[in-house]
A and B are shown apart, each in its own frame.
Chain A
Amino acid sequence: MMKSSLKLTAAAAVAAFIATSDIALAEEAGLTDTTIKIGMIGSLTGPAALWGWPTINGAKMVYDDINANGGINGRKIELVIEDSQCQAPLALAAAKKLISRDEVFMLHGGSCSGAILPVRDLVLKEKVPMMVLVATADEIVAQPNGYIYRAFLPGSYDGEIIANFIATSPQLKKVVVVGNTDAVANVRYPKLEESIKANNLEYLGLEPLEVEATDATAQVLKVKSLNPDAVVLVARPEASAVFLKDAAKLGLDVPVFGSTLVDLQDLLERIGDPKPMANMNVVSFYKSTLTEAPMARWVDMLKKYYPDDKVQAAAFYGTSGALAVVEALKRAGPDLSREKMVQALSEIKDMDGGPMACSVTFAADDHEGCKTGSIWGMRDGNITALGDSWK
């Protein structure tokens, strides 16, 4: 009797343990019946702080809007935001904290490619779904990768878009590249050079321009001596503005094509003079300029939730990612899990990119959702979307 009751107690205990641990397994981190916890990582301070809050808020406004309209499948989105200061060790620490301490369901973050790259291994090991916020390096999302997605134009694709665009003009044959040599710029060069050559254009080489350049006289004169038909400018906004000003001053009068690192409106404001901008074109993520109809919905949303934020190009870099996250959460249904979320993301096809010119399509073996952009240029002093061929 004693023995059997002991056995019974033991069996009951084991059963109870198995049952509870089953429940523990079923209960995904970061989920309750009424909330989904998402961790965001941005460069809120440090050298890239310029893009910190604007990009976070551009994604956050989508979540705010969803919450204001009742949430997804009865759950509201709860955000935990961490600062990476654009530094790898801090980005990694932030991701670790979000995953282990805050136990978030997924991550939506990264605004400096170099800083967020080390986070990739951690995220893949921990099997946490992640949407890239604004980091552009291809390697972050490259296969094999079961968990990390991106819903805006990655770094290397703008080179292809520019080269294809230049090739549509019969006058533009010889192309020289001027650009920074930091990580963000370097990811763009191989595909740019390959695409220039693939379009039967003559590639005249790469002229380095320092990120913190205060003067580009040497570069402009050197480029002039090569006598190119077009210049591709793969530089951050500060250096791009310096180059354009010196190009105008020293009479380098050829079309210049900027990467997604710059934005026409922003450059115009920086330079404060339309003259050096006359030859400038850029690859843009967006459907239209910020003042035109296709962007109105997103500009209005920003004004509603973040009335103090500046309406600028950087404000909407993260928006399409949030839209994809929301779409996948809806599709994954109320019985949510990380694996279901990843599956739902991979099934998104031809989703409207929101402010983005592309439509978002993921596949199980391709997590780059957005591969097209459009070229914008200055026409009659106005920023004009040109599409994909020379006008």
Chain B
Amino acid sequence: MEIATLLSVGVSNGCLYGLVGLGLVLVYNAQGIPNFAHGELFMASAFAAYTANILFGLSYALSMLVAIVFAFALGVVVEFLAIRPIAMNRSLGRASTEVAIVLSTVGLMIAIKGLARIPWGDSVRKLPAAFSTETISVGGLVLSTQRLLIIVVAFVLTIAISLFFSKTSLGKKMRATSQNTAGAMLVGINTGHIYSATWGLAAICGGVAGILAAPLIFLYPDMGTRMLLKGFAAACLGGFGSVGGVFVGGLVMGIVEIFFGRYLATSMMDIFAPIIIIVVLLFRPQGLFGSRSAVRV
């Protein structure tokens, strides 16, 4: 029973890590850099849902939709204003361009967090759960309905994104651009649009995680920082490669973390993510599932 409880929490946390990690991987594959502002997309979407639902009184479902659209728009705007001008600057070499973009995302992280503190810094806020029944009991096992929702949504979204990449023309163009930008230009792909779409999609992944996690935690401007670290660990485990790999990486993170905390040391739970990142990068940079050649350096 205890193991089932731990598993249900570990899996749902892992799903969140996987979603956040997926957003990181999308941007990494397109631009070759870790997006340090990704946690802020997670935070901003949660606040967007809060604003729509609590402040404007929209229905819960509509609020979630508004928040997802907002996340997409924020991703696109950020790419257009803060990333593209650097990426398109051909006077920089490739290495300098990447360093400049990384620094730009660090700046964005600080700026978005700072902006969020202006209206939201004074108090901690709460977003209601999707269902009014907070827990259901299955054979004596108490399960949180919100956590079940997280698991279902994460599975569906991961499958949907996998299909998007393998079946749709936009998905194929995004993969092509991430694998070879010059090649993509030569088949008539407007790579600028693709980068916007990639950031938008990445922001949706982070945003969905944000609005799913919000009812379990509390809303405050710094809520994205911790998630970024966990998502990054999930992405490292998954090898920064396939959509499924990151998702499984997130699950492994979530499950191992909570069992580790329960049976070994709770004090270690939160240094677990950075340890995973370091160990994976040192000994298996292609992640648990990737092939070595697939790693982009």
Interface residues of A (CB under 8 A from B): 45-47, 49-50, 53, 181, 207-210, 212-215, 217-219, 221-222, 237-238, 241-242, 249-250, 270, 272, 310
Q: Say whether B218 contacts A270, CB under 8 Å.
A: yes
Most buried by B among A45, A214, A250, A270: A214
User: Are A215 and B13 within 8 A (Cβ)?
Assistant: yes
A290 to B258 Cα, complex, angstroms: 39
- Contact between chains at B266 and A50 (CB < 8 Å): no
* Least distance between B150 CB and chain A CB atoms (Å): 12
B173 on the A face (CB < 8 A): no
Interface residues on B, range: 20 to 34
Known: A45-B121, A250-B5, A272-B126. Is A218-B218 also a contact (CB below 8 A)?
no
Question: Assuming the A-B contacts A215-B9, A217-B6, are A237 and B121 also in contact, with contact meaning beta carbons closer than 8 angstroms in the complex?
Answer: no
**B175–chain A nearest beta-carbon distance, Å:** 33
Given contacts A45-B117, A208-B266, A250-B142, contact A221 B6 (CB under 8 A): yes
A237 to B123, CA, bound (A): 11
User: Smallest CB–CB gap between B201 and chain A, Å?
Assistant: 25
Chain B residue with minimal CB distance to A218? B261
The verdict on A212 contacting B226 (CB below 8 Å), with A217-B258, A218-B266 known, is yes
Point out the residues of chain A lying under 8 angstroms from B258, CB to CB: 215, 217-218
Show 30 residue pairs from A and B whose CB-CB distance is below 8 angstroms, ordered by the A residue.
A46-B117, A49-B122, A50-B123, A53-B122, A181-B267, A208-B266, A210-B270, A212-B222, A212-B226, A213-B270, A214-B13, A214-B216, A215-B216, A215-B258, A217-B5, A217-B6, A218-B6, A218-B261, A218-B266, A219-B261, A219-B266, A221-B2, A221-B6, A222-B261, A238-B124, A241-B218, A249-B135, A250-B5, A270-B218, A310-B123
Cα–Cα distance between A49 and B120 once the two chains are bound (Å): 10
How far, in Å, is A258 (CB) from chain B's closest CB? 16
Which residue on A lies nearest to B257, using beta carbons?
Answer: A218
Please state if A47 and B226 are interface contacts (CB–CB under 8 Å).
no
- Given A45-B114, A221-B6, A270-B218, output 10 extra A-B contacts at Cβ < 8 Å: A49-B117, A49-B122, A50-B123, A53-B122, A208-B265, A208-B267, A215-B216, A218-B258, A219-B266, A249-B135
* CB-CB nearest in chain B for A53: B122
Q: Is the CB of A238 within 8 A of B218?
A: yes
- The docked-state distance in angstroms from the alpha carbon of A250 to that of B121 is 31
Structural contact, B261 and A214, CB atoms closer than 8 A: no
Q: Complex Cα distance A210/B122, Å?
A: 21
Say if the beta carbon of B64 comes within 8 Å of chain A. no
- When the two chains form their complex, are residues A222 and B266 in contact, meaning their CB atoms are under 8 A apart? yes
Q: How far is the CA of A310 from the CA of B117 in the complex (A)?
A: 17
In the complex, which residue of chain B has the Cβ closest to the Cβ of A273?
B134
Is B213 part of the binding interface, using a Cβ–Cβ cutoff of 8 Å?
Answer: yes
Q: How far is the CA of A249 from the CA of B6 in the complex (A)?
A: 13
B residues sitting closer than 8 Å to A (CB atoms) are 2, 5-6, 9, 13, 114, 117, 121-124, 126, 135, 142, 144, 213, 216-218, 220, 222-223, 225-226, 258, 261-262, 265-267, 269-270
- Write out the residue numbers on chain B whose beta carbons fall within 8 Å of the beta carbon of A53: 122
Q: Give complex CA distance A210, B258 in Å.
A: 13
Say whether B217 contacts A47, CB under 8 Å: no
Q: State in angstroms the CA–CA spacing of A214 and B13 once bound together.
A: 9
Partner of B262, one of A212, A221, A310: A221
> How far apart are the CA atoms of A213 and B2 in the complex, in Å?
20
Q: A45-B117, A45-B121, A49-B122 are in contact. Are A217 and B9 (CB under 8 A)?
A: yes
Cα distance A310–B226 in the bound complex, in angstroms: 29
A81 to B266, CA, bound (A): 40
Contact B144 A249 (CB under 8 A): yes
Please, which residues of chain B bring their CB within 8 A of the CB of A212?
Answer: 222-223, 225-226
Minimum CB–CB distance for A180 against chain B, Å: 11
| Most chain A beta-carbon neighbours within 10 Å: one of B6, B122, B220 | B122
Q: How far is the CB of A284 from chain B (nearest CB, A)?
A: 20
Task: Give the distance in Å from the alpha carbon of A183 to the alpha carbon of B266 in the complex.
Answer: 18
Q: Which 4 A-B pairs have the closest CB atoms?
A: A218-B261, A208-B267, A214-B217, A218-B262
Enumerate chain A residues within 8 angstroms of B114, measured Cβ to Cβ: 45
In the complex, A339→B269 CA distance in Å? Answer: 51
Q: How far apart sit A219 and B265, CA to CA, in the bound complex (Å)?
A: 9
Which residues in A have their C-beta under 8 angstroms from that of B266? 207-209, 218-219, 222
Known: A209-B266, A214-B217. A50 touches B2 (CB 8 A): no
Q: Closest CB of chain A to B119's CB: distance in Å?
A: 12
Which residues of A lie under 8 Å from residue B270 when comparing CB positions?
Answer: 210, 213
Residues of B within 8 A of A50 (CB): 121-124
Taking CB as reference atom, which chain A residue is nearest B2? A221
The chain B residue sitting closest to A209, CB to CB, is B266
A270 to B219, CA, bound (A): 10
Counting chain A CB atoms within 10 Å of each CB, the highest count among B135, B225, B267 belongs to B267
Contact (Cβ within 8 A) A237 B124: yes
C-alpha spacing A181/B265, complex, angstroms:
14
CA distance A272 to B127 in the complex (A): 10
CB distance from A251 to the nearest CB of B (A): 8
Within the complex, the shortest CB–CB distance from B132 to chain A, in Å, comes to 12
* Complex CA distance for A310 and B122, rounded to whole angstroms: 10
Cβ of B225: which chain A residues have Cβ within 8 Å of it?
212
The residue that B124 contacts in the complex, of A209, A219, A221, A270, with Cβ under 8 A, is A270
Report the Cα distance A281→B123, complex, angstroms: 22
Bound together, the chains give a CA A47 to CA B226 distance in angstroms of 14
Chain A residues with CB under 8 Å of B123's CB are: 50, 310
Residues of chain A with a CB closer than 8 A to B269's CB: 210, 218
